């Protein structure tokens, strides 16, 4: 277990329940405290800030997640995009943010989040 990520509180923003459950299990194994899953943009936007970082699926039920990403960026909350489109699906204002290419393995997820935690430290 990586001490830098142990106990970090994380929010999963993902509309595919199977993917969200997979991430919840893997993140708990890695030592993260999963604070919940938001499956809709409105749910993510209205959520109380009880997390340290987030994994954002780029497309949530036909809406993109970039308004929420803007909010997180303004608040200084580190996040990683999860997308099947790679960086080409990310708007210019968020280029350079970490992108986790779907489908991803548990090791890919851990590496992306470990890098995110290290960058935020």
Give 33-85 pLDDT, tens digit per residue. Answer: 999 999 999 999 999 999 999 999 999 999 999 999 999 999 999 999 999 88
Domain count, the chain: 1
- Give CA separation, 5 vs 1, 21, 30, 49, 92, in Å: 8, 19, 8, 18, 29
Q: How much is the average pLDDT of 77-101? A: 91
Evaluate whether residue 74 is within a structural domain. Answer: yes
Q: Which of 15, 38, 12, 13 is nearest to 25 (CA)?
A: 12
Evaluate whether residue 82 is within a structural domain. Answer: yes
pTM above 0.75, yes or no: yes
Give 22-39 pLDDT, tens digit per residue. Answer: 999 999 999 999 999 999
pLDDT of residue 1: 47
Evaluate whether residue 83 is within a structural domain. Answer: yes
Evaluate whether residue 3 is within a structural domain. Answer: no
For residue 111, what are the domain limits? 9-120
CATH code: domain of residue 52? 3.40.50.2300
Cβ-contact 70, 49 below 8 angstroms? no
Task: Please tell me what DSSP assigns to residue 82.
Answer: E
Evaluate whether residue 2 is within a structural domain. Answer: no
Radius of gyration of the chain (CA): 13
């Amino acid at each position: 277990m990586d001490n830098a990520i142990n106990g970090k509180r994380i929010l999963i923003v993902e509309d595919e329940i199977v993917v969200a459950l997979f991430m919840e299990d893997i993140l708990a194994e890695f030592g993260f405290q999963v604070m919940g899953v938001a499956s809709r943009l409105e749910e993510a936007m209205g959520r109380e800030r009880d997390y340290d970082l987030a994994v954002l699926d780029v497309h949530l039920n036909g809406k993109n997640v970039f308004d929420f990403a803007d909010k997180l960026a303004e608040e200084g909350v580190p996040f990683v995009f999860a997308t099947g489109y790679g960086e080409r699906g990310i708007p210019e204002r968020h280029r350079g943010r970490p992108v986790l290419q779907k489908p991803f393995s548990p090791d890919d997820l851990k590496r992306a989040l470990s890098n995110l935690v290290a960058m935020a430290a």
